[in-house]
Amino acid sequence: MPVRPGLTTSKVVNAALDLVDEQGVEGLTLAAVAARTGVATPSLYKHVANLAELRGHVGVRVLEEMTGRFTTAVLGLAGDDAVHALMHAYRAYVQEHPKRYGAMPMDPLHDELQREAGMKLMEVMLATLRGYGLEGSEAVHATRRLRVIVHGFASIESSGGFGLPEGLDDTYDQLVRMYLDDLRGKK
């Protein structure tokens, strides 16, 4: 197989994300990425050391996409409006990219490759919550609660786990209101 000119780590990650979008994380293999990029599998080693590193780069990209989306959603907003926008942007990302979201690392702060991207995402969440006067541990706990609510709901939703006829948007809005009520109680 001829070497494809101009192959970069970014293009390798793009191909990996396309595979994840189509087949889920379980479909991500070096052989599949090599086939998609038109190179032999060993040629990928110029760009990634192994499948674990490629998955790490995919995780970074997902974190960066989410950070960009969330930042745009909350820009110029504060308080309840900012939190509402963040929680809806988070859910929308999972709805639009359920398989890609499955590639998001659960604990990027303890991974050298993903730490910086994970901290940027966390900073957006912490900044969104600053208007509630939360600092230190309280801010971390509030961020975790937000993540659990959105991750849990969106993950169940994207896997088709809500089978009852009541509207999912109504349920989600109730969760957002519940979270906001909790934040206001912490002032």
Residue 55: how many CA atoms within 13 Å on its side-chain side?
A: 16
Show the tokens assigned to 171.
Answer: 């349920």
Q: Is 80 exceeded by the pLDDT of residue 186?
A: no
Q: Is 50 exceeded by the pLDDT of residue 100?
A: yes
**Digit-coded pLDDT (tens) for 2-49:** 445 689 999 999 999 999 999 999 999 999 999 999 999 999 999 999
Show the tokens assigned to 182.
Answer: 């909790």
Specify the higher pLDDT residue, 3 or 67.
Answer: 67
**Mean pLDDT in residue range 72-99:** 97
Report the predicted TM-score, pTM, of the whole model to 2 decimal places.
0.92
**Mean pLDDT in residue range 42-69:** 97
Instruction: State the pLDDT at residue 3.
Output: 43
Q: Is 80 exceeded by the pLDDT of residue 160?
A: yes
In angstroms, the Cα distances linking 36 to 11, 21, 45, 61, 186 are 10, 13, 15, 18, 51
Q: Is 60 exceeded by the pLDDT of residue 133?
A: yes
Angle formed at CA 133 by CA 129 and CA 136, multiple of 5 degrees: 80
Q: Is 60 exceeded by the pLDDT of residue 1?
A: no
Residue 122 CA to its chain's centroid (Å): 11
Q: At what angle do helices 115-129 and 136-158 cross, to 10 degrees?
A: 110
- Distance separating alpha carbons of residues 66 and 86, to the nearest angstrom: 10
